[in-house]
Structure 1
Amino acid sequence: MVPIRATILPANDDSLDRACELLSSGELVAIPTETVYGLAANAWDADAVAKIFLAKGRPSSNPLIVHVASADEIGRAVRMPLSRPLQKQLDSLVDLWPGPFTVVLPVNERIPSLVTAGRNTVAVRVPSHPVASALLRRCPFPIAAPSANKSKYVSPTTADHCVSGLGDDVALVLDGGPCDLGLESTILLLDERGPRLLRPGTICAEDLASRLKVEVSDLIVVDNDKSESDPSFISPGTMREHYSPRTPLRLIGDDEVNSVVPPGTGRIAFRALTSEIASRYERVETLSQNGVLAEVSHNLFAALRRLDQSGLQVILIDQCEPVGLGRAIMDRIHRAAAGHCEGDTSEH
């Protein structure tokens, strides 16, 4: 039986109006953001939110991010007014919106508990993608939107990626082209005891620490690999195994550069390989000709998906230093490779 595929429409005024109508009636719509494509529902509608968890096969212990049109609208999700310490922290960061930046703050009573996995906090952000922004301005409600893919699989960065696993669970996919950044948003918990980085992203920890006048080491949560049942699991995207291809993924080390490569091996390279090295692999995906990390992050998930569909036995992937944007890249790679990196002791 051929699976039913969701309708993909180019984003324009007509399709945006249709998307707003569908969301208002409790349906799911896949939407582009600057990070990855999101599976959107009316964040005030508990029944609609429940469809997200069902479509993704997502555990109810894993909270969602709520999206609003502007910083002035965070009160649609967040309990206002904030305490003075939280407001001071937010004031130093608010110019990062619109953008790939999520904050965790006290939740207001209109957000269903399913959105927050029963926590008293909610993750909220203001996306900068013009399609997401235009849709949010049309909707009289905030939008809950995790990545538009089956739970734990590689995040989608094109409209076609959204329908490969979700089928007719999605009423409509708005096609806004490939996502600019290709990695999910940075998530920061704002807390009266001090802010904490819950998920690294393209807004780097070093920049956040400078704005907040704290040390990077004080901002970063070292042990953030929470099990889904852990009561402190308050942030999306922090499971040990996440963003994972079905093909085993293994990080390549310096000692393997000249080693024999078994048949059926693919390679994800951060920079162009010599023809001699590239010829050892069945397939090679080059994320950046010169190792530019912004290009690596932009192309990472799409490359993982292509190699995962190539019938390979194993995928080897490069590493970079986990500093700045490299911290977010290596966070995704470690989670994607979890369970396949025997003996690897690299920093998470």
Structure 2
Amino acid sequence: MNPHTISDDKIQAAVALLQAGETVAFPTETVYGLGADASNPLAVQKIFEIKGRPIYHPLIVHIAAASQLSVWAQSIPDDAWRLAAAFWPGPLTLILQRSSQVPNEVTGGQDTVGLRVPDHPVATSLLRAFGGGIAAPSANRFGQVSPTTAQHVHDKLGVMVGMILDGGPCHIGVESTIVSLVHGDAVLLRPGRLSVEAIEDTLNKKILLTQPISTKVRASGMLNSHYAPATPIEIQPADELWIRAHQLANLGYKVAVLNLSDHKKCASSAAITRFQMPLQADDYGRELYASLHRIDHANFDRILAEALPATPEWVAINDRVRRAAQGTTNETRILVRTENR
């Protein structure tokens, strides 16, 4: 038996909590979410209180199937149905015009709502049993590293959550791709595992990579500083990575190095610990947040992350590492090669 199989009794217990206006943390293929009944404003408010999340920062509503889109959205364009048919369940969030039943607490006061169908058996079972939408940002304190295991949720939120469903490690490990379809054009708001190229192939047209100023939409994970560990991060080009590591070590810092390229002569030492990261983008994304959680628990003083490739498959990972680095202290240098913009 899979140790992370969730019994029907636990699913029903989670449903009862949601119906009672409480919160439930549950796994998706991307990260663990902190869920509450999306139709219950008081329940949704608990998410903001637990996370310390600004009330203007909108949430994503998770639904069991694309057939529920019209419950939560209106004036749904054909492009939304095409993308839903192609990529749901999966790591894609669509921003659409909200329906009248969506509380302001979910949308941050906007007239739009984010919707997605997650691709995880526990999330699927929970959503089907619950029957409604579950508003669920990542199950962490606002702006911090997202959780990819149930233990991460327990460590950061603990008894503040009504229940934590343990579905094992998330198999993608970075948040969903977010695409807005509310003003005619398809606009990328946040990169994720699902690539721009795959979306464009499905829609048979280009999507915008920057929002027009006149149609600005707020969505989850768009702040400059986000996904940040407690340990400050610097991003360094490969040829400067170990020079900087030894500079910090000589100053008395305990340094963790997220190493991508093969530096055979650069071994760990008493002050420098090397974390060899996967060479493939999907594997790196799966390991990134788990590595940052481990480093925080080990009380390092600095994280040095090797600058990542600038190829399309690394776009989402580059985005998360850069935003995490923006959360470091002012004294920390952030060096990123021009070609990695």
CA distance in 1, matches of 2:127, 2:335: 46
Residues 321 and 195 of structure 1: CA distance in aligned 2, closer, same or farther (over 3 Å): same
Q: Is the 8 A contact 1:76 1:142 kept in 2?
A: no
Partner of 2:190: 199
Partner of 1:142: 133
Residues 92 and 46 of structure 1: CA distance in aligned 2, closer, same or farther (over 3 Å): closer
TM-score, with structure 2 as normaliser: 0.89
State the AA in 1 paired with 2:208.
L
Partner of 1:299: 287
Residue 286 (1) aligns with residue 276 (2): yes
Residue 236 (1) aligns with residue 227 (2): no
Structure 1 segment 262-341 matched on structure 2, within 5 A = 262-263=248-249, 264-270=254-260, 273-274=263-264, 276-280=265-269, 282-288=272-278, 291-338=279-326, 339=328, 340-341=332-333
Residue 248 (1) aligns with residue 232 (2): yes
CA distance in 1, matches of 2:313, 2:28: 19
Residue 115 (1) aligns with residue 106 (2): yes
Structure 1 segment 86-105 matched on structure 2, within 5 A = 86-105=77-96
Partner-residue secondary structure (3-state), 2:185: coil
Residues 123 and 70 of structure 1: CA distance in aligned 2, closer, same or farther (over 3 Å): same
Partner of 1:61: 56
CA distance in 1, matches of 2:69, 2:25: 22
Q: Is the 8 A contact 1:209 1:219 kept in 2?
A: no
Q: Deviations over 1:21-79 (max 9, x none)?
A: 00000000100000000000000000000000000000011100000001111123212
State the AA in 2 paired with 1:253.
P
Partner-residue secondary structure (3-state), 2:172: coil
Aligned residues: 326
Partner-residue secondary structure (3-state), 2:304: strand
Residues 272 and 343 of structure 1: CA distance in aligned 2, closer, same or farther (over 3 Å): closer
Identity of aligned pairs, percent? 36
Residues 272 and 136 of structure 1: CA distance in aligned 2, closer, same or farther (over 3 Å): farther
Residue 169 (1) aligns with residue 163 (2): no
Residues 292 and 51 of structure 1: CA distance in aligned 2, closer, same or farther (over 3 Å): same
Residue 160 (1) aligns with residue 160 (2): no
Q: CA deviation at 1:293?
A: 1.1
Q: Is the 8 A contact 1:66 1:125 kept in 2?
A: yes
CA RMSD after TM alignment: 2.2
Q: Deviations over 1:300-336 (max 9, x none)?
A: 0000111122221210012223433300000000000
Q: Is the 8 A contact 1:10 1:174 kept in 2?
A: no
Any gaps of 5 or more consecutive residues in structure 2? Answer: none
Q: Structure 1 stretch 111-120 or stretch 204-213: which is displaced more?
A: 204-213
Partner-residue secondary structure (3-state), 2:287: helix
Partner of 1:17: 12
Q: CA deviation at 1:94?
A: 2.4
Q: Is the 8 A contact 2:88 2:117 kept in 1?
A: yes
Partner of 1:221: 210
- Of 23, 42, 45, the match for 1:50: 45
TM-score, with structure 1 as normaliser: 0.88
- Of 28, 31, 37, the match for 2:32: 37
Partner of 2:177: 186
Q: CA deviation at 1:192?
A: 4.2
State the AA in 2 paired with 1:42.
D
CA distance in 1, matches of 2:212, 2:277: 29
CA distance in 2, matches of 1:233, 1:190: 10
Q: Deviations over 1:267-308 (max 9, x none)?
A: 11235542x3132562222221xx011110000000011112
Q: CA deviation at 1:141?
A: 1.5
State the AA in 2 paired with 1:267.
V
Partner of 1:71: 66
- Higher helix content, 1 or 2: 2
Partner-residue secondary structure (3-state), 1:152: coil
Q: Deviations over 1:204-262 (max 9, x none)?
A: 111112222233xx5212899xxxxx993521001111000111100111331452613
CA distance in 2, matches of 1:271, 1:12: 43
Q: Is the 8 A contact 1:89 1:212 kept in 2?
A: no
Any gaps of 5 or more consecutive residues in structure 1? Answer: 1-8, 225-229
Residues 250 and 257 of structure 1: CA distance in aligned 2, closer, same or farther (over 3 Å): closer
CA distance in 2, matches of 1:67, 1:272: 40
Residues 223 and 266 of structure 1: CA distance in aligned 2, closer, same or farther (over 3 Å): farther
Q: Is the 8 A contact 2:234 2:335 kept in 1?
A: no
